[in-house]
Amino acid sequence: MALDQPGQSEKMTRILTLGNYVFTSIFAAEAILKIIAMAPAKYLKNGWNIFDLSIVTISVVELGLANVKGLSVLRSFRLVSNYNKILVIFFLNILLSYVYLNWRNLGKH
């Protein structure tokens, strides 16, 4: 996504295009599976799910309009879709650190 640059080799363009298809497919499959598992009404009640679905929709539209110049900027929106996942991992790390420290301190008393 961020590797796209003017004057790049044909091989690099093919690799980036393949990566674009692979990641779009993965994110689309995730959205579809979540919609099936949660039911559409419940899925659409969560703001993050709506956001992820909009990113997947933009990505699929971008693939459909791949030959139109200037739409590669749409790929950067996919980076933002992982923001909520990064936050969960960050706060889980903090929580586990506190649990570990408290567990260690229990043995000292």
Q: How far apart are CA 68 and CA 46, in angstroms?
A: 33
Choose between 2 and 96: higher pLDDT.
Answer: 96
Judge whether 3 and 35 are in contact, CB under 8 Å: no
34-74 tens-digit pLDDT: 999 999 999 999 988 888 898 888 888 878 877 766 555 55
Higher pLDDT among residues 52 and 33, named by residue: 33
Residue 93 tokens read as 């790390």
- Residue 52 has which token pair? 């992820």
Write down the pTM of the prediction: 0.57
The whole-chain average pLDDT of the chain stands at: 78
101 or 71: which leads in pLDDT: 101
